[in-house]
């Protein structure tokens, strides 16, 4: 009896020791902090853009809608980008517009865990590159929608050049249009005919004087002829 009891005690001790050793060597499954994935940068490839996903860019907005959280200034467009399945942060969106250059904006985590980035650019600008930090291997970067600011229109007025040429009268002055300097074309030019009239009056006076003198000489000559042909008066005896 005693021997059988002793053997049972020894065997039980061996089994207990073996069970403890096996439990100590069993691998532990990570949980909690051990499940955190390493952070990575997520490069934008066009998701949500008008050009579609997996495109090289440049990209433009694929959907416009009013959003109380997006408040672009007049002449601007506001963009909402969403980073899904993010890491612990920090989160920043680095984006380049043409025109406009590069911007870096911080993200805000929402109730569902995704990160929202809001960025503004001039209307008509295109996106040439974008990426978000603080992502994981399960993250996606998507352009959700855009909100358009008030349109700004620029009005340019071009003054029309009007050239007016006034024809110079030549009826009495004898001055031709070609002799008028170019600086006075387009202005009303009045040519005074006084000098020309005086010249004509002087020339006409000479002509009429010659005619009158000729007539006087003709009359005098005729008188002499008549006088010469008259018979001489007879002398009384």
> What pLDDT was estimated at residue 175?
46
Higher pLDDT, 212 or 191: 212
Distance (Å, whole) CA 225 – CA 219: 10
Higher pLDDT, 2 or 117: 117
DSSP string, the chain: -HHHHHHHHHHHHHHHHHHHHHHHHSPPPP-GGGGPPPPEEEEP--TTBTT-SS--S-B-BS-B---TT--PPTTEEEEEEEE-S--SS--EEEEEEETTEEEEEE-EE-TTS-EEEEEEEETT-EEEEEEEEEE-TT--EEEEEEEE----------PPP----PPPP-TTT---GGGS-GGGTTS------HHHHHHHHHHHHHHHHHHHHHHHHHHHHHHHHHHHHSPPPPPP-
Instruction: Confirm whether pTM is higher than 0.85.
Output: no
CA dihedral 12, 15, 21, 26 (to 10 degrees): -130
- Which residue is associated with the tokens 């694929």? 62
Using the predicted structure, report yes or no on whether residue 183 has a pLDDT greater than 80. Answer: no
Over residues 60-91, the pLDDT tens digits come to 999 999 999 999 999 999 999 999 999 998 99
Average pLDDT over residues 186-201: 50
Distance (Å, whole) CA 217 – CA 211: 10
Query: C-alpha distances in angstroms, 67 versus 124, 132, 204?
Result: 19, 22, 97
Over residues 122-175, the pLDDT tens digits come to 999 999 999 999 999 999 999 999 999 999 987 766 655 555 544 444 444 444
> What pLDDT was estimated at residue 2?
60
Give the number of other Cβ atoms within 10 Å of residue 93's Cβ: 25
> What pLDDT was estimated at residue 147?
98
Look at 39-43, 116-120, 155-159 and tell me which has the smallest mean pLDDT: 155-159
Confidence band for 199, pLDDT divided at 50, 70 and 90: low
User: What is the percentage of the chain residues whose pLDDT exceeds 70?
Assistant: 53
Q: Indicate the domain borders of the chain.
A: 37-147
Q: Residue 127 burial (CB < 10 Å; 0-12/13-18/19+)?
A: buried
Higher pLDDT, 65 or 185: 65
């Amino acid at each position: 009896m005693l021997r059988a009891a002793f053997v049972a005690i020894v065997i039980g001790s061996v089994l207990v020791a073996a069970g403890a050793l096996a439990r100590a060597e069993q691998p532990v499954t990570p949980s909690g902090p051990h499940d955190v994935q390493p952070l990575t940068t997520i490069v934008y490839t066009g998701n949500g853009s008008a050009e579609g996903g997996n495109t090289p860019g440049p990209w433009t907005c694929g959907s416009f809608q009013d959003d109380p959280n997006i408040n672009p200034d007049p002449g601007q467009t506001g963009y909402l980008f969403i980073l899904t399945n993010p890491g612990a942060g920090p989160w920043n969106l680095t984006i380049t517009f043409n025109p406009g250059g590069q911007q870096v904006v911080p993200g805000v985590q929402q109730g569902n865990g995704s990160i929202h980035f809001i960025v503004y650019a001039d209307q008509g600008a295109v996106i040439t590159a974008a990426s978000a930090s603080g992502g994981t291997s399960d993250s996606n970067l998507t352009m959700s929608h855009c909100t358009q600011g008030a349109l700004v229109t620029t009005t340019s007025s071009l003054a029309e050049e009007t050239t007016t040429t006034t024809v110079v009268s030549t009826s009495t002055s004898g001055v031709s249009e070609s002799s008028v300097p170019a600086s006075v074309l387009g202005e009303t030019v009045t040519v005074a005919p006084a000098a020309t009239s005086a010249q004509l009056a002087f020339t006409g006076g000479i002509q009429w004087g010659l005619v009158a003198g000729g007539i006087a000489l003709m009359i005098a000559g005729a008188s002499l002829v008549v006088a010469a042909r008259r018979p001489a008066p007879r002398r009384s005896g």
